Amino acid sequence: MADLPPLSLYIHIPWCVQKCPYCDFNSHALKGDVPHDEYVSHLLRDLDNELPAAQSRAVSTIFIGGGTPSLLSGEAMQTLLDGVRERLPLAADAEITMEANPGTVEAGRFAAYQAAGVNRISIGVQSFNQEKLQRLGRIHGPEEAKRAALLASSLGLRSFNLDLMHGLPDQSLEEALSDLRQAIALNPPHLSWYQLTIEPNTLFGSRPPVLPDDDTLWDIFEQGDKLLSAAGYQQYETSAYAKPGYQCQHNLNYWRFGDYLGIGCGAHGKITWPDNRIIRRAKTRHPRGYMAGKYLDREHKVAVADKPFEFFMNRFRLSEPVPRSDFLQLTGLGETVVRPQLDEAIAQGYLTETASQWQVTQRGKLFLNSLLGLFLADD
């Protein structure tokens, strides 16, 4: 339907071998074997309940995240993606991404995932420094990470991504840049390069490690950004760099305020309806409850007053200009409701404006929280 945004599908696989101390994602350390077939059947039943929200739209991207989706067998992945294709029209050029952790056991499954339809793999490297990997609770070593990247490169996938973190415990500038140089040497079309943050309800949250100071963090970002630019990577989102033409289409749809169905433990969805309602849904977080058939945990309608903040919070993460027409099309609101805030953002030097678009300035990127704060609804 022309007046609705593009549609994506997010699928959550909740298990991992062990919980990393920094991780606040909905992941659960595996006890015993992965219930491959049983979980996939629940995912497809969950999707059956979501079908009316698709509103006849084709799915343009699929992202299979976790946890560690690469714990799922190749056969289970085939059943899952076949089931999705039976239920929903997929765009002919649909991007289908799966997260994977490096490791010899999982690496052997990559070809089976590709046969099932996965055409983009995101590999959770985080660091190439053995000591740092141990501090992060990762179960792989640097060589396994490199092997996984080389295997992904050899499969002829549409693309692959390396996930890399900086600002690690006691990390020096040179250690951070060394990680980045080793990642660049593997020539991934896409690099997610993001700073470690300490989240509540994690092991690091209760026992915080010593992180680099602000000056070191700024040096890491500034010099790392230059390294990436020199290697042909363009920053298109706060923590994402890509070679031209290799941006992650799934994440672009999120940040452009597109719609997405979410299935699986703790998955989130956002759906726009023709009457301009925006409904957000969240699924049951724990596998036990989810696999008892209680899929939906909660849903809520986004309040009209909250729509501007939600729209700009997503759009302003991207480096690209924001078409002014998108605000009306995706929120159902006229620009007059945010005119005072826009004028203030322009006066503060956070934004520039033309007849057709808004562009976040360098100052706006540096003070993104202050920029977004202008659009927060009054209580």
Residuewise pLDDT in 10s, the chain (379 residues): 348 999 999 999 998 877 676 666 677 777 778 899 999 999 999 999 999 999 999 999 999 999 889 889 999 999 999 999 999 999 999 999 999 988 645 566 888 999 999 999 999 999 999 999 888 888 888 999 999 899 999 999 999 999 999 999 999 999 999 999 999 999 999 999 999 887 777 777 777 777 889 999 999 999 999 999 999 999 999 999 999 999 999 999 999 999 999 999 999 999 999 999 999 999 999 999 999 999 999 999 999 999 999 999 999 999 999 999 999 999 999 999 999 999 999 999 999 999 999 999 999 999 999 999 999 987 5
Determine phi and psi for 309, rounding to 5 degrees: -65, -45
The token pair at 122 is 């995101």
Beta-bridge mates of residue 121 = 98, 160
What pLDDT, on a 0 to 100 scale, did the predictor assign at position 106? 59
The token pair at 97 is 């991404």
Burial of 301: CB neighbours in 10 Å, binned 0-12, 13-18, 19+:
exposed
Within 13 Å and on the Cβ side, how many CA atoms surround 333? 20
Q: Do residues 101 and 140 touch, judged by C-beta distance below 8 A?
A: yes
CATH T-level fold of 7-253: TIM Barrel (3.20.20)
Task: Break the chain into its structural domains and give their ranges.
Answer: 7-253, 325-379
Alpha helices in the chain (DSSP H): 36-54, 74-87, 104-107, 110-116, 130-135, 142-154, 173-185, 203-206, 214-230, 249-255, 287-290, 307-315, 324-331, 339-347, 362-366, 368-373
Q: What is the C-alpha separation between 181 and 252, in angstroms, rounded?
A: 26
For the entire predicted model, the pTM comes to 0.94
What pLDDT, on a 0 to 100 scale, did the predictor assign at position 378? 79
What pLDDT, on a 0 to 100 scale, did the predictor assign at position 108? 65
Q: Do residues 277 and 53 touch, judged by C-beta distance below 8 A?
A: no
What pLDDT, on a 0 to 100 scale, did the predictor assign at position 21? 64
